Amino acid sequence: MGDGRASTIASVVAPRGPPPVLVPRPVLAPPPVVRAPTWKEQRRGGVVARVVGGNGLSSVTPAAAARAAVRSSPRRSSRRRPDLAPPPSDVAHVAASSSNSSSLFPRGTAGMTLDGGVALDGDAAGGGGGATRSPSSSLLPFQANRGARGRTTVGWAMAIMLQPVLPFLLLVLAASAAAGLPGDRTLVFILAGQSNMSGRGGATSGTWDGVVPPECAPSPRILRLSPALRWEEAREPLHAGIDVGNVLGVGPGMPFAHAVLGTSGKVPPGAAAVGLVPCAQGGTPIANWTRGTELYERMVTRARAALDGCHGRGELAAMLWYQGEGDTMRRDDAERYQGRMEALVRDVRRDLGRPDLLVVQVGIATAQYNGKFLDRVREAQKAVTLAVPNIKYVDAMGLPIASDNTHLTTQAQVQLGNMLAKSYLETL
């Protein structure tokens, strides 16, 4: 009796059949997230974008990154869906790289587009118009979306690749658009020597009169290398921040650039802009420009930085040299001028890797502090032209001189710039 009751209770309590098997629910991997790489990743491997997925971190191309972004978005419907874009934290912005972002972009580039998709507003382009932007404000974000006319804009991942070279590209593209030229190369010219190269036109009375002739007006096609080694739109005084400690005015650089670009039939194919590298320093004898001196090393450093800043789109065209007044006061300096000038040309060509670099030197017309050896220096300059290949000679004698009997007037600088351009164009 007792055993039967126990078996009955056991049959009620015990479950019938085999115990259930619990199957764990599968864990779904999160959708891939597209993010911009760090600068270290870019420098280390040139990675454009990376996808973080279930299998870890893997490098992909820009096209694969765009496909991943599309796959992670909602499925296409019959209605037009909103523009695709990466998360706000992943949108690549191109920020201004200095406290004064307008110095990177020439005026007149407002509304300019890059590859038909990326626009510059007025302030980011240095145009001065539009809403007020803070110094650290960025350009429009490069997003993987569609423009108002249905054209796909530059992908945000591509913006990461363009960021290091974007300022220079914008300047050159603006110059090319203004010129109506298909090319995008920049002709780079070194401007070296003393005060008549840096320019004292309109500035011989202790202050600059501020007069800028049309031949010296700013242009998006004419750039200068700033003291901070960055390309910017050139304007008078061209040597501002370079020829320190002196009152500066108009020099030959701007009219030279205008004259070069104005003769379209002579400009090398593909040249869209002229890049000027001001290096002159007033009151300096040629001994201060020998290899190893501060002025020489600064000139070479600035020339290299100018070419590096072109990112493969620049061509070192010539060195314009106007110096010698400081060597007219002592006989020894005048007699040694030819040897020092020949050594300077040889060293510059070697250090810049251009053994055939064109040098256009200006024959001086005045002497510093009424030096007695003006004619001796002029003879040495002419002798250098005959002794060293690929050196051109332009004579400043006869150009208008200011009341200080040393410096060229503004109009004389315009004439000299045209003469230098003519001499350069004759070599093409």
Tell the CATH superfamily of the 181-425 domain. SGNH hydrolase (3.40.50.1110)
- Residue 137: its pLDDT value, please? 35
**Is residue 407 among the annotated active site residues?**
yes
Helix ranges (DSSP H) in 184-336 = 195-198, 253-262, 294-309, 331-335
- Per DSSP, the three-state class of 35 is strand
- Residue 22: its pLDDT value, please? 60
**Is residue 195 among the annotated active site residues?**
yes
Crossing angle of the two packed helices 337-351 and 374-387, in degrees rounded to 10: 40
Helix ranges (DSSP H) in 237-368 = 253-262, 294-309, 331-335, 337-351
CA–CA separation, 173 and 112 (whole Å) = 9
Q: Which two tokens stand for residue 154?
A: 């530059």
Instruction: Give the mean pLDDT per block of 10 residues along the chain (428 residues).
Output: 48 54 59 57 48 42 50 48 42 36 37 35 38 36 42 49 56 49 78 98 95 96 97 98 97 97 69 94 98 99 97 96 98 98 99 98 97 98 98 98 97 98 95
- Residue 272: its pLDDT value, please? 85
Beta bridge partners of 224: 232, 276
Query: Going edge to edge, which strands form the sheet with 231-233?
Result: 231-233, 222-225, 271-278, 185-193, 314-322, 358-363, 391-395
Q: Of 101, 195, 226, 423, which residue is the catalytic one?
A: 195
Q: Which amino acid is at 15?
A: P
Q: Of 176, 327, 407, 423, which residue is the catalytic one?
A: 407
- Residue 172: its pLDDT value, please? 54
- Residue 23: its pLDDT value, please? 57
Beta bridge partners of 146: 152
H helix and E strand count, the chain = 12, 12
Is the separation of the CB atoms in 168 and 188 below 8 Å? no
Q: Which two tokens stand for residue 270?
A: 């593909």
Would you put residue 182 in left (φ > 0), alpha (ψ -120 to 50) or beta? alpha
Crossing angle of the two packed helices 294-309 and 337-351, in degrees rounded to 10: 30
CA–CA separation, 167 and 105 (whole Å) = 7
Domain limits, the chain: 91-166, 181-425
Q: Which amino acid is at 51?
A: V
3-state class percentages of the chain: helix first, strand second, coil last, to nearest 5: 35, 15, 50
- Residue 45: its pLDDT value, please? 53
Least Cα distance to 314 among 275, 372, 279, 355 occurs for 275
